[in-house]
Amino acid sequence: MWSWVAHRVTGVLIFFFLFVHVLDTALVRVSPEDYDKVVATYKTPLVACLEYGLVAAILFHALNGLRVIAVDFWSKGPRYQKQMLWSVVGLWVVLMIGAIYPVLGHAARELFGS
């Protein structure tokens, strides 16, 4: 049940990110100066934390999507869906730990120094 909810919520969050991304990229044709201002705000530590959340949403949505495909198309999928869910969660945690430095490293250096 909760994996279903999380899958839908992450899908909606990713959709809204893509919508905002298309809008801010389109801004370069309308006003390059405003585009530069928007891009400058993306270099803040707060946005780095939001990017980490985006990575979390994309990773969970992708891994859980593979689990859903396995449940739907593998004859033994429904029987092992709970084990596959815990495997997805475990792999997601490992990958999110691995993403801390690449995504948040710049923000940490900006906040706490080199």
Which amino acids are annotated as binding site for heme, given as ranges?
A: 61
- Region label for 16, one of left (φ > 0), alpha (ψ between -120 and 50) or beta (otherwise): alpha
Overall size of the chain counted in residues: 114
Annotated binding site: 61
Q: What are phi and psi of 43, to 5 degrees?
A: -95, 15
